[in-house]
A and B are shown apart, each in its own frame.
Chain A
């Protein structure tokens, strides 16, 4: 059974930093790209960042580029999101999600999601 368990959320002041973790199990972690998706309170879903299975390729939404860094440790089956220079608008539940490959080359849909971790940016 695929399981994704996020941790590391909390309350942080504007301009501060936080590192999120996502522990994965139930599948061959290194074979799949992974992603972070966030949801502001009462709002819809917003893709944040993604990383290839090897970790060699990373992708970011414009809203977080230059402030957030995605990484992974395949020996620990863990995905990370380092968030710096946090803003009030970064307040959201952050989900990690497994990315399913489509036709062997397309980073496709998100087939499994964690339960999320809440990040609140406020003074």
Chain B
């Protein structure tokens, strides 16, 4: 099983600031990595796939980078609606998909 480790667990950021979230895989997943956003009481929403491609309708302030074992999700200027939990997920080792434990982005 590929273990996905996200850091930090919680990120405190002021509106308008940049947020940088990290995700590390226990072995290479190439670029087969996705990012999801989940708000309280809601289903996850796909943000990024292929490590760096934004999903349909996702604002340009969200960007993804990395390959192999190290990945980053950057939110360039946090808006109020961006405070949520973010999960990374590898699909290189399908169908044994695995998720990171999540990073909560909270208001500073």
Contact = CB atoms under 8 A, between A and B. Distances in A.
How extensive is the interface on chain A, given as a class? 20 to 34
A97 to B, nearest CB: 8
Contacts of A10: none
A115 to B, nearest CB: 5
A44 B34 CA distance: 15
Interface of B: 32, 34, 36, 42-46, 49-50, 55, 87, 89, 91, 94-102
Nearest to B101: A44
Given A108-B32, A109-B49, A46 B43 contact: no
At the interface, is chain B mostly helix, strand, loop or mixed? loop
A9 interface: no
Interface of A: 35, 37, 44-47, 50, 59, 61, 95, 100, 102, 106-116
B84 to A, nearest CB: 13
Closest 6 CB pairs of A and B: A59-B95, A109-B34, A113-B43, A47-B97, A107-B94, A45-B99
Contacts of B101: 44
B43 A47 contact: no
A45 B94 contact: no
A61 B72 CA distance: 27
22 contacts: A35-B97, A44-B99, A44-B101, A44-B102, A45-B36, A45-B87, A45-B89, A47-B97, A61-B96, A95-B44, A107-B94, A107-B95, A108-B49, A109-B34, A109-B49, A109-B91, A112-B46, A113-B44, A114-B43, A115-B42, A115-B43, A116-B43
A113 B34 CA distance: 14
